[in-house]
Amino acid sequence: AQSVTQLGSHVSVSEGALVLLRCNYSSSVPPYLFWYVQYPNQGLQLLLKYTSAATLVKGINGFEAEFKKSETSFHLTKPSAHMSDAAEYFCAVSGDTDKLIFGTGTRLQVFP
């Protein structure tokens, strides 16, 4: 069985500051891991995914995430936050089925 824990339901940063959104997973098989972003009243958009190739994954909008098996983590980072990054971010895991298991989400606020 798979599960995902996102630490911090709300994260606030200043524009230009580092963004760090935390995700820890549990999986009995080698996982595939995903980060999605959701803007208000819209669907989810894929930011990046890890599929057992390189452990550092680069995504859209300057985001990247690093898969750390020893820590069962897949944290999302961006060196410099923009106002347009304000949204809700979801981490998800899939393992031995076609189904994704989502975390409860982290709302990112960016202050000028």
Partner 1 sequence: SQTIHQWPATLVQPVGSPLSLECTVEGTSNPNLYWYRQAAGRGLQLLFYSVGIGQISSEVPQNLSASRPQDRQFILSSKKLLLSDSGFYLCAWSGGVGLDTQYFGPGTRLTVL
Residues that bind partner 1 (CB under 8 A): 9, 32, 34, 36, 41-46, 49, 51, 90, 94-95, 97-100, 102-105
Distance of closest approach, residue 73 Cβ to partner 1, in angstroms: 19
When the beta carbons of 73 and 94 are compared against partner 1, the nearer one is 94
Q: Which amino acid is at 97?
A: T
Alpha helix stretches (DSSP H) within 8-85? none
Distance of closest approach, residue 87 Cβ to partner 1, in angstroms: 14
Distance of closest approach, residue 95 Cβ to partner 1, in angstroms: 8
Alpha carbon distance 108, 15 (integer Å): 11
Which residues, 6+ apart, have CB-to-CB distance to 41 below 8 Å? none
When the beta carbons of 17 and 86 are compared against partner 1, the nearer one is 86
Confirm if 105 and 11 have CB atoms less than 8 A apart.
Answer: no
